[in-house]
Amino acid sequence: MTNKVATLNLGDQQVDLPVVSGTVGPDVIDIRKLYAQTDCFTFDPGFTSTASCESQLTYIDGDEGVLLHRGYSIEELSEESSFMEVSYLLLNGELPSKQELDDFSYTISRHTMLHEQLATFYRGFRRDAHPMAIMCGVVGALSAFYHDSTDIADPVQRKIASHRLIAKMPTIAAMAYKYSVGQPFIYPDNKLSYTGNFLRMTFGVPAEEYEVIPAVEQALDRIFILHADHEQNASTSTVRLAGSSGANPFACIAAGIACLWGPAHGGANEAALNMLREIGTPDKIPHYIERAKDKNDPFRLMGFGHRVYKNYDPRATVMQKTVREVLTALKVNDPIFEVAMQLEEMALNDPYFIEKKLFPNVDFYSGIILSAIGFPTTMFTVLFALARTVGWVAQWNEMISDPGQKIGRPRQLYTGPTARPYVPVSKR
Ligand code: CMC
């Protein structure tokens, strides 16, 4: 709370609203009592000016291009840290000691296996099912396996559920891929790192020894760090809203996966690479830029623009650097990278994109890396979901442990018909 007060004049009525400050970032006007005092709601479709909760996890300054997890910059974390360490940080608030990190990694590795019964769920899907459809279904189904053992009021049980989700996502994701290509599921090998294990479960086959390439493992681990959490984005808000009713956490994460799938959110990485492949060669870029600017054409530059970042998405900077490293390490010469860089340059010099503050976001370059590693485009959003699970469970835990937590229940501006008498069908 600050000493500041926002005064709202509503006809003859004057209402003082408290102004609350966070540790950094814009103040918020506390409108919780507004309806009781004035009989008015606020109207903010898409939450463009609304803080939906209090949180200590992630801070974004969209004007300065800053992203901090628990106070640590994404640049430093992606350079110096590991996905397991960032997961610990997000869940617990502090960086772990060496022993704490070893214990955490060990605990996660003990939960990587799936109940064998769950494997049968995959067979209910068509082979050509989108892996995100499989993820929604299988992660949702986990709730059936742990519903009776998950008391969300108990922090220990919440922790176990969180560890299970983080640990099982790579197994579930790899199995979704294996199912689509008709190869046998590969069981986890807990000698490997979290990311190495995922690579082996995805690309290994029983007939051959799979060797994890360190450069690939490191790049993918970094991609996971870049996607771990991102404040109150659409899927995180979905998880919080679902969880606010006291729902089973596995079901809440399935809700988050469903939301993430959309092309305006996590589905943009798949859409961005498809777009770059469609453009194909640098000479076609101007045509696509013109299309993106045309109000009568629904086409948008995928991997461009962000609700919060109005300067540059700091994750895109790290991602662009990682593309170079991976392509060099794998000796891949993907002409799409050249198309992407020229497209970025052209867009950043175009008055439309300058004026609207549209810059590459995290999804613009990630697809090039994932494609070089060998993932089909349909798996891109699955990898995003895998990494974001950490953020989702951390945010869900934070919400449930908040004593002031209430069920999420927005109101509306009703513009439909007023009350009218029912007319029997014979008289219509
Ligand atoms: N290409 C062309 N024009 C665009 C684009 C784009 N990618 N993004 C926004 N605009 C225009 C838009 O047409 C609008 O113009 P006007 O003011 O004339 O109506 C203006 O910029 C503002 O756009 P908006 O849709 O009102 O902004 P928003 O904050 O609601 O949407 C967004 C943000 C990310 C959904 C949007 O920029 C977009 O659709 N981008 C492409 C999809 C994408 O890359 N999504 C990944 C986001 S980052 C990863 C994640 O968090 O999931």
How would you classify the pairing of strands 66-69 and 72-73? antiparallel
At the topology level, CATH places domain 74-404 in Citrate Synthase; domain 1 (1.10.580)
pLDDT at 381: 95
- The sheet carrying 72-73 orders its strands as 58-61, 66-69, 72-73
Q: Is the confidence at residue 55, as pLDDT, over 90?
A: yes
Q: Which residue is listed with tokens 């060990």? A: 106
Does 357 contact ligand 1 (Cβ within 6 A)?
A: no
Query: Which residue type sits at 236?
Result: T
Q: Would the CA dihedral through 114, 116, 117, 121 be positive or negative?
A: positive
Question: Annotated catalytic, 283?
Answer: no
pLDDT at 332: 86
- DSSP secondary structure code for residue 15 in this structure: E
Helices (H), 204-313: 214-227, 234-243, 249-260, 268-279, 285-293
Of the candidates 221, 229, 313, 363, the residue annotated as catalytic is 363
CA separation for the pair 388, 236 (Å, rounded):
9
Stretch 359-378: mean pLDDT, rounded?
A: 92
Q: Is the confidence at residue 122, as pLDDT, over 70?
A: yes
CA separation for the pair 180, 274 (Å, rounded):
19
**In the chain, ranges of CATH 1.10.580.10 domains:** 74-404
Q: Is the confidence at residue 333, as pLDDT, over 90?
A: no
Q: How confident is the model at residue 404 (pLDDT cuts 50, 70, 90)?
A: confident
Q: Is the confidence at residue 121, as pLDDT, over 70?
A: yes
Distance 29 CA to ligand 1 centre (A): 26
Q: How confident is the model at residue 70 (pLDDT cuts 50, 70, 90)?
A: very high
Report the mean per-residue pLDDT for the chain: 95
pLDDT at 311: 85
Q: Packing angle between helix 234-243 and helix 380-401, nearest 10 degrees?
A: 40
Does 361 contact ligand 1 (Cβ within 6 A)?
A: yes
pLDDT at 149: 76
Question: Annotated catalytic, 363?
Answer: yes
Distance 319 CA to ligand 1 centre (A): 20
pLDDT at 1: 64
Yes or no: say if 123 and 68 are a contact pair by the CB < 8 Å rule: no
Does 301 contact ligand 1 (Cβ within 6 A)?
A: yes
Stretch 382-410: mean pLDDT, rounded?
A: 96
Q: How confident is the model at residue 125 (pLDDT cuts 50, 70, 90)?
A: very high
Ligand 1, atom 30: closest residue by C-alpha: 307
Q: How confident is the model at residue 324 (pLDDT cuts 50, 70, 90)?
A: confident
What CA–CA distances, in Å, run from 194 to 149, 191, 322? 25, 9, 19
The residue among 1 and 176 whose pLDDT is bigger is 176
Stretch 210-221: mean pLDDT, rounded?
A: 95
Please identify, in words, the CATH class of the domain defined by 5-51: mainly beta
For residue 14, give the 3-state DSSP assignment. strand
Q: How confident is the model at residue 212 (pLDDT cuts 50, 70, 90)?
A: very high
- For residue 375 the two structure tokens come to 């993932």
At residue 30, φ and ψ (nearest 5 deg) are -80, 105
User: Which secondary structure element, helix H or strand E, spans residue 323, and what is its range?
Assistant: helix 314-329
Distance 256 CA to ligand 1 centre (A): 20
pLDDT at 3: 80
Yes or no: say if 266 and 385 are a contact pair by the CB < 8 Å rule: yes
Identify the burial level of 133 via C-beta atoms within 10 angstroms of its C-beta, where 0-12 means exposed, 13-18 middle and 19 or more buried: middle
DSSP notation for 378-410: GGHHHHHHHHHHHHHHHHHHHHHH-TT------
Strand intervals (E) in 11-109: 13-20, 28-29, 58-61, 66-69, 72-73
pLDDT at 150: 83
CA separation for the pair 214, 233 (Å, rounded):
32
**In the chain, ranges of CATH 2.20.28.60 domains:** 5-51
Q: Is the confidence at residue 411, as pLDDT, over 70?
A: yes
Among residues 59, 175, 193, the alpha carbon closest in space to that of 118 is found at: 175
Query: Residues 131-165: pLDDT tens digits?
Result: 999 999 999 999 999 887 789 999 999 999 999 99
Stretch 358-374: mean pLDDT, rounded?
A: 91
pLDDT at 148: 79
Stretch 295-312: mean pLDDT, rounded?
A: 92
- DSSP secondary structure code for residue 93 in this structure: S
Stretch 92-117: mean pLDDT, rounded?
A: 97
Stretch 285-313: mean pLDDT, rounded?
A: 94
CA separation for the pair 417, 70 (Å, rounded):
48
Ligand 1: atom nearest CA of 384 is 52
Distance 304 CA to ligand 1 centre (A): 7
CA separation for the pair 224, 389 (Å, rounded):
10
